[in-house]
Amino acid sequence: MFHSTVENSTITAAVVEIPWLERARGSAEILWRDDRNPIIGRNPLPFANSVYNSAVVRHGDGFKGVFRVDYRTGLPFLHAGSSPDGIHWEIETPQIDLRDEEGNAVELGFGYDPRVTPIENGYVVAWCNDFNGPTVALAYTEDFVLFKFLGNTFVPFNRNGVLFPRKINGLYTLLHRPSDAGHTPFGDIFLSQSPDLKFWGEHKHVMGPTEAWWDNKKIGGGPVPIETSEGWLIIYHGVMGTCNGYNYSIGAALLDIDEPWKVIARANQYLLGPEADYETVGRVANVCFPCAALTDAAKDRIAVYYGAADTHTALAYGHISEIIEFVKTNNCV
């Protein structure tokens, strides 16, 4: 079984520098935007309307990613991409090559909002898959050329699958957000665990919307959780219901290291909300949707990739220690 290779090896840590831009003098922002945003704009491929809500990781001497590419049919599919610097991306024209354990091609009805977790000797991709409705699927890759399908983790309806970067108490651990068939008007973050990335149980509730206005409608997991001395730092999206529709912003919380279904602290205000033109104007107005983060612990840096207005891919920066302090200072737990 191919799972044995996942469990028995360790991925080599990459040393390539993550993208970075210093905070503007006089700014008090906890997360600040890249001046080059959006780093991926409209129509990046001839058949594509937009690329957003995508995930990237260090790989070799550069970066790799799995991207949500919305076709002009309106349907989303997954494409691999590469970059030397995390800013300038070349997205492949074919969809990802997804195979089952016998090597047969696996056809996707649609695929969107991927997350990529470096874990042990490779990378696990989690995304929203078509399984008689949306649910969380997983695949494994070492080279971003061949992707081995691990199956659908849950029955529909479910979204926002985010795998932790290591086993916790001997089990793989996944955040997810049960939903419905439509544009979900609700949503809490749950956690499930598995011995083999195939069979899932030990389901636990993590957290739901709060009374704070900015995330009072629904929430969902974002980038891969970041292990720190204070706990697991999670960056997530929170949604506010307004008279003009939903407003998506980026928030943060700390989870217990050994029992990550327990919330240690959670900020009562967002880190970054839709303000720039590319975040407020697009296919869906007023959306900042985080799906990936690159970190440099030695330099206390984080680079957060987020979808903007369901149209663009954008990038923001921060200091990990400042985000943790912000969460603790503004704790609503």
List the structure tokens of 305.
């990739």
Residue 291 maps to a domain: yes
Q: Of 198, 140, 144, 157, give the one whose Cα is nearest residue 174.
A: 198
Strand, coil or helix: what is 199?
coil
Residue 245 has a pLDDT of 92
Residue 39 maps to a domain: no
Give the up-direction half-sphere exposure of residue 240: CA atoms within 13 A in the CB hemisphere: 21
Angle CA 237–232–286, to nearest 5? 10
Residue 30 maps to a domain: no
Residue 91 has a pLDDT of 97
Q: Report the number of distinct structural domains present in the chain.
A: 1
pLDDT 10s digits, 227-286? 999 999 999 999 999 998 999 999 999 999 999 999 999 999 999 999 999 999 999 999
Residue 240 has a pLDDT of 96
pLDDT 10s digits, 200-212? 999 999 999 998 9
Name the residue range of residue 85's domain. Answer: 44-329
Q: What is the CATH number of the domain that holds 71?
A: 2.115.10.20
Residue 34 maps to a domain: no
Cα separation, 314 vs 250, in Å, equals: 13
Contact yes or no for 320/301 (Cβ under 8 A): yes
What lies within 8 Å, CB to CB, of 170 at 6+ separation is: 195
Residue 2 has a pLDDT of 26
Q: For 2-116, where are the alpha helices, taking DSSP H only?
A: 3-8
Q: What are phi and psi of 292, to 5 degrees?
A: -150, 150
DSSP character string of 158-175 = EEEEEE-SS-BTTBEEEE
Per-residue burial over 97-132, b = 16 or more CB atoms within 10 Å of its CB, e = otherwise: ebeeeeeeebebebbbbbbbbbbbebbbbbbbbbbe
Cα separation, 301 vs 316, in Å, equals: 11
Contact yes or no for 260/245 (Cβ under 8 A): no
pLDDT 10s digits, 142-189? 999 999 999 999 999 999 999 999 999 999 999 999 999 888 899 999
Residue 223 maps to a domain: yes
Neighbouring C-beta atoms of residue 321, cutoff 10 Å: 13
Residue 16 maps to a domain: no
Does residue 131 carry a pLDDT above 90? yes
Residue 9 maps to a domain: no
- Residue 11 — pLDDT band, cuts 50, 70, 90? very low
Residue 12 maps to a domain: no
Place of tokens 């993590």: 206
Residue 14 has a pLDDT of 56
